[in-house]
Structure 1
Amino acid sequence: MKRQLKKLTLEMASKVIFNSAKTEVNSSCFFIGYQPKLPETAKKLRKF
């Protein structure tokens, strides 16, 4: 039972993180100051 719960939690977390990364890659910082450079693996998620 514990393993199933742990596996389900990790799967849900990975989906949330992946969707968050896709959103961040396709948007830019609207503040003047700072936007960190993206890793090459994240650039592959771009839509354009």
Structure 2
Amino acid sequence: MKDELKKLSLKLASKVILNSAKTEANSSCFFIGYQPKLPENAKKLRKF
């Protein structure tokens, strides 16, 4: 039971992190301020 809960929580966390990375890769900073450079792996998630 404990291992199943751990696997489920890790699976959920990985999905949330992947969706967050996709969103960040496809958006840009709309302020004049600082926009950090994306890592090469995150650039592969871009849609355009």
Aligned to 2:25: 25
Give the TM-score of the pair, scaled to structure 2.
0.96
Q: Residue 8 of structure 2 corresponds to which residue in structure 1?
A: 8
> Secondary structure in 2 aligned to 1:10?
helix
Instruction: Give the distance between the partners of 1:11 and 1:35, measured in 2 at CA.
Output: 30
The runs of at least 4 consecutive aligned structure 1 residues that moved more than 6 Å come to none
Aligned length: 48
Q: Alpha carbon RMSD of aligned pairs, Å?
A: 0.5
What is the distance in 1 between the residues matched to 2:32 and 2:2? Answer: 47
Q: Runs of 5+ in structure 1 lacking a partner?
A: none
Using the TM superposition, give the Cα deviation of residue 37 of structure 1 relative to its aligned residue in structure 2, in angstroms: 0.3
Instruction: Give the gaps of 5 or more residues in structure 2.
Output: none
Q: How many percent identity over aligned positions?
A: 83
